[in-house]
Amino acid sequence: MTEERRYTPSVHHRVSQAITLWQREHGRDYAWRHDSSPYEVLVAEMMLRRTTAKAVSRVYPVFIREYRRPKDLASASVRSISRIVAPLGLQRIRSKHLKETARIITQDYGGEVPSDSSSLLALPGVGRYVAAAVRNFAFGKPEPLVDGNTLHLLSRVFGTSFSGPDDEDAWEFMKQFGRPNHEPPLYWGVIDLVSSTCRRRKPLCSSCPLADYCLWKADHFYENEA
């Protein structure tokens, strides 16, 4: 394939479709991906920053049982919140952000997580990625998502070289994957694919659904994958 062909809308569509189909069959199963409320999605996404999904999967169910609603979390002490989220690291600042965010949601939004980007971005501990993730996964609003996993996959498949998650060109590039009938599995698939298959070290190219489109695979295919 030529570079010109790789950047056509049809190729982007096929890549996004391949990721979505792969995720449905091979994606990881986490509690926050199943019929979660906007509050639960927000909590999960705030927890997932600078830690692993595996660590969050142990903490999240306990946290939600303890703080079922924003007002429950808003009335809790930072110390009690910290005890639960300690395994995630950065527990002090993480706990303060969770509590203050819950307080704002309770007082300013009647206990309902806002769906617009500006309101989400005004919440403590909520950056561009978390706000976009909540809009995608909780409200079905198709927005691009860019983080380290996204940049890694784009670099491998398309040979891109964005400067980082804040690179506007990366966000614009990801918009090309949007579809009218947006499906969360696209972005869950990116995360899961990087974790299990398109690994940073010794990627499993032979089992990757994007092998036919991948520039990196064409140049670095491992004959003996492990």
Q: Which of 139, 173, 206 is the last residue of a domain?
A: 139
Give the model's pLDDT for residue 185. Answer: 87
Say what the pLDDT of residue 57 is: 97
CATH number, domain with residue 91: 1.10.340.30
Instruction: Say if residues 107 and 136 touch (Cβ distance below 8 Å).
Output: no
Residue of 109, 88, 91 whose CA lies nearest to 99:
91
Torsional sign, CA 43, 49, 51, 52? positive
* Mean predicted confidence (pLDDT) in 183-192: 89
φ/ψ (deg, to 5) at 199: -70, 155
The residue with greater pLDDT, 35 or 52, is 52
In a domain, 225, yes or no: no
Question: What's the domain range around 7?
Answer: 3-28+143-220
Q: SS3 string of 40-84?
A: HHHHHHHHHCCCCHHHHHHHHHHHHHHCCCHHHHHCCCHHHHHHH
Where is the domain boundary, 139, 159, 184? 139
pTM for the structure as a whole: 0.89
More confident residue, 164 or 219: 164
pLDDT, one tens digit per residue, over 4-16 is: 345 677 888 889 9
Cα–Cα distance measured from residue 31 to residue 40, given in angstroms and rounded to the nearest whole number: 10
**Which residue bears the tokens 């007082």?**
107
Both 12 and 43 in one domain: the answer is no
Assess whether 133 and 148 both reside in one domain: no
Burial code (b: 16+ CB inside 10 Å, e: under 16) for 118-152 equals ebbeebebbebbbbbbbbbbbeeebbbbbbebbbb
Residue type, 158: F
**What's the pLDDT band for 223 if we cut at 50, 70, 90?**
very low
Report pLDDT digits (tens) over 75-119.
Answer: 999 999 999 999 999 999 999 999 999 999 999 999 999 999 999
Where residue 176 falls among pLDDT bands split at 50, 70, 90? confident
Q: What token pair was written down for 203?
A: 């990627």
Tell me the average pLDDT across 54-62: 97
102: exposed, middle or buried (Cβ count in 10 Å: 0-12, 13-18, 19+):
buried
For residue 32, give the DSSP letter. G
| pLDDT (average), residues 132-145 | 92
Work out how many domains the chain is built from and give that number: 2
Burial (0-12, 13-18, 19+ Cβ within 10 Å), 65: exposed
Instruction: Point out the domain boundary residue: 139, 169, 190.
Output: 139
